[in-house]
């Protein structure tokens, strides 16, 4: 929950280059970290899978499931964090930058782990190397962590927007991989609350604080930790003073065709709808397995066979695309920052709820749909 609160501080859309945003979001929102979950929790494998946690524990032990209470209080926590950043940014910017860099390092190490496992498998045994109280790690885990640290250091030294986008994408994938929505009820509570949060802080915060709180926090660069360290240690004017200020990787940025300005998309606008997409993808595969076992409830008789074949995942994904396109057009028309969730939430939730009602699955999806069968059933985990 704490990581999601930090992500919530960046929920905003300033779309000045819509095509790049659409390509990036459609590629990374349905981040389907697929595992075959056979519910064999009695056996623990020593070798971690590609989607396992970085310290080798089982993925199931690392997944955080959001409940109704957390979904209701998440927008409140995000609002408090946003106000702290707005009023005390100068005091907490270095700490927040370091924490963001650490989280990005861990997230990108998780993202690089499958590739490193593939590269080290032919030439390195899977034995773990002990580092005392820090734990035991495989060669692939050490390699992925080293590459991630190198990437973060290069970003700190250069502040390049491509590296920042790469780190933001790693945060998106890690959030979607380790956070789960258990039901449609929790999904509606979470997205509706964040919709109100996004609209309020983009459209109405200026009337109270005389400034657009969301835009100011999202666009304000932070001091480079190397610059702060060189000033604290009095290392001289030429040591660590030429590093740029950092735009924190809580958003994706893309330069315009002229290079005079950037368009920005908060990673919360990717992660939160992405969690919904993962939920409906899990349900699609769960329902397919249930129907193959002759345990699925048939849809209403007036629903055509073609309608029954349309998956919830594709319906929600198309809704996300249309919502983002609408937000892009709205921001170009109004020439101002737009709360992306104002468009993404209705275009994803409403088609999903309508289709679930027509197919007769709404009641089952609403409350704990995956607990209705025995835990021995096998379905595709996302």
pTM of the shown model? 0.76
pLDDT category of residue 61 using cuts at 50, 70 and 90: low
Per residue in 96-138, pLDDT tens? 888 888 998 998 898 888 888 888 887 766 677 777 777 788 8
What is the average pLDDT across 218-232? 80
So where are the chain's domains? 1-40+67-122+138-289+306-367
d(CA 134, CA 121): 23
Residue corresponding to tokens 């960046």:
10
Q: Is the pLDDT of residue 239 over 60?
A: no
Tell me which DSSP letter residue 92 carries: H
Residue 226 has pLDDT above 50, yes or no: yes
Catalytic positions, please? 198, 269
- State residue 371's pLDDT score: 66
Evaluate whether 328 touches 18 at the Cβ level (below 8 Å): yes
């Amino acid at each position: 929950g704490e990581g999601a609160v930090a992500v919530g501080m960046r929920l905003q859309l300033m779309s000045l280059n819509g095509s790049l945003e659409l390509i990036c979001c459609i590629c990374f929102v349905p981040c389907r970290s697929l595992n075959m979950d056979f519910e064999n929790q009695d056996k623990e494998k020593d070798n971690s899978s590609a989607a396992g946690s970085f310290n080798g524990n089982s993925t199931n032990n690392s997944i955080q499931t959001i409940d109704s209470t957390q979904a209701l209080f998440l927008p409140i926590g995000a609002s408090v964090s946003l106000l702290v950043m707005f009023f005390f940014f100068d005091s907490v910017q270095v700490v927040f930058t370091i924490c963001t860099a650490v989280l990005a390092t861990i997230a990108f190490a998780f993202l690089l782990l499958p590739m490193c496992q593939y590269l080290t498998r032919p030439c390195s045994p899977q034995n773990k190397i002990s580092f005392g109280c820090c734990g035991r790690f495989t060669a692939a885990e050490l390699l992925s962590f080293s590459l991630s640290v190198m990437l973060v250091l290069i970003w700190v030294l250069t502040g390049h927007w491509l590296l920042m986008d790469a780190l933001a994408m790693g945060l998106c994938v890690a959030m979607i991989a380790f956070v789960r929505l258990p039901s449609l009820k929790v999904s509606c509570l979470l997205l509706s609350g964040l919709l109100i949060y996004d609209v309020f802080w983009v459209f109405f915060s200026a009337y109270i604080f005389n400034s657009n709180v969301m835009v100011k926090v999202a666009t304000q660069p932070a001091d480079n930790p190397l610059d702060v360290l060189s000033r604290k240690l009095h290392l001289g004017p030429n040591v660590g003073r030429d590093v740029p200020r950092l735009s924190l990787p809580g958003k994706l940025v893309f330069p315009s065709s002229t290079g005079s300005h950037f368009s920005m998309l908060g990673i919360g606008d990717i992660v939160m709808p992405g969690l919904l997409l993962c939920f409906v993808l899990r349900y699609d595969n769960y329902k397919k397995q249930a129907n193959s076992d002759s345990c699925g409830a048939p849809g209403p008789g007036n629903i055509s066979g073609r309608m029954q074949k349309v998956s919830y995942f594709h319906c929600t994904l198309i809704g996300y695309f249309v919502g983002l396109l609408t937000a892009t057009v709205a921001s170009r028309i109004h020439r101002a920052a737009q709360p992306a969730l104002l468009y993404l939430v209705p275009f994803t939730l409403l088609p999903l709820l309508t289709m679930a009602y027509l197919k007769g699955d709404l009641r089952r999806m609403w409350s704990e749909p995956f607990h209705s069968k025995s835990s021995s059933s096998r379905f595709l985990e996302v």
